[in-house]
Amino acid sequence: MTRLDLDSLELFVRVVERGSINAAAAAADRSQQAVSERMRKLEHELGLDLLERGARGSQPTETGQVVADWIAELLVATDRFQERLTSLRADRTSTLRVAASQTIAGYLLPQWLSQLEQAGTATSPHVHAVNSVEVIREVHSGAAVIGFIESLDELSGLEHHVVGHDELVVVVAPSHDWASRDFITAQELAAMPLVVRESGSGTRQVLEQLLGEQHPQLEAAEPRAEFSAILSVRGAVTAGIAPAVMSALTVAEDLAAGRLRRVDVADLELHRPLTAIWREEPELPASASELIRIAAQHAAD
């Protein structure tokens, strides 16, 4: 069957709505002859009698009225399609507001955004690097369209998707007593005052939660020092102030260069999910959906 001409279908609905070919032609700024020819051609293509033509105008046949109703539904769907295309084009060049916890913002998100650009999504990202609690707050409020967190928080009222996992490691300065050991125990780790991030950071929350889940009898010691930035925590450990538990991503270069030493914990699993979060409404922009896909693909690779 020949693909139908959408313009002819719309003209037919105009004829039915206005009761005559002349009125439909005037509304569409066409000649009466051109519209009349379109209607005859449409009837021929469909193999149906759509109009009863008379001195007082053109009225739809019973079949024609049914077809007109169907076409009206088709035109509504077409308009919706056009609106979504317009939204998609706007989204491809709009600002994408992203909130991300510091490890993701500093060590993963730049690669994801680069791939997003290479994929042809010409969005202008605006990234706010904060702790996981603040990320959740910004997504809830709408200040960020999408967020990435490293914590194990309950995400009531938010959609979420785990895009990967991250390993936490205990690191010490080469001069620390633990530097020469093959491993320590969870009890030793809990008893040691550590250098930590501020309350609300994903790393600190995950460490406390995993320790509590795997060793409920243990309670972490009060921190030796508290900092708001990953760089400051790393610097404090390097200076020998105290050990820290950090993402393996953030200390990879220091471990390779010998500035820090990794110490395994024999009886404690230190892994955490990396999670994309967004509000249930409004609909997630195409650029944000693509960013989630890229993040998950990056982790799989």
Which tokens sit at 149? 């967190």
The per-residue pLDDT for range 173-212, each reduced to its tens digit, is 999 999 999 899 999 999 999 999 988 788 888 999 999 9
For the domain 6-91, what is the CATH code?
1.10.10.10
Give dist(CA 16, CA 242) in Å, integer: 82
Q: What is the mean pLDDT of residues 76-101?
A: 72
pLDDT of residue 73 exceeding 90, the answer is no
Question: 210: how many CB neighbours lie within 10 A of its CB?
Answer: 19
- Model confidence at 244, pLDDT cuts 50, 70, 90, reads very high
Alpha carbons within 13 angstroms on the beta-carbon side of residue 272 total 29
For the domain 94-301, what is the CATH code?
3.40.190.290
Question: What per-residue string of b and e applies to 273-282 under the rule 16 or more CB within 10 Å gives b?
Answer: bbbbbbbeee
pLDDT, residue 86, reads 60
Q: What is the mean pLDDT of residues 144-172?
A: 91
Please state, in angstroms and as integers, the Cα–Cα distance from residue 229 to each residue in 190, 201, 221, 226, 250, following that order: 22, 10, 21, 9, 11
- Model confidence at 94, pLDDT cuts 50, 70, 90, reads low
pLDDT, residue 152, reads 77
- Model confidence at 123, pLDDT cuts 50, 70, 90, reads confident
Most confident residue range from 15-19, 47-51, 264-268: 264-268
Element counts in the chain: helices (H) and strands (E): 12, 12
- Model confidence at 267, pLDDT cuts 50, 70, 90, reads very high
The percent of residues in the chain predicted with pLDDT above 70, rounded, is 94
pTM for this predicted structure: 0.66
Q: Strands 225-227 and 195-197: what pairing?
A: parallel
Q: Mean pLDDT across the chain, nearest whole number? A: 89
One fold for 6-91 and 94-301: no
**Boundaries of every domain in the chain:** 6-91, 94-301
Give dist(CA 172, CA 46) in Å, integer: 79
3-class secondary structure, 168 = strand
Cβ contacts of 241 within 8 Å, gap of 6 or more = 195, 224, 225
| More confident site: 234 or 156 | 234
Helices (DSSP H) in the chain: which residue ranges? 6-18, 21-27, 32-46, 62-92, 102-107, 109-118, 132-141, 186-191, 202-214, 230-238, 248-257, 286-300
Give dist(CA 246, CA 202) in Å, integer: 10
Q: What is the mean pLDDT of residues 245-263?
A: 95
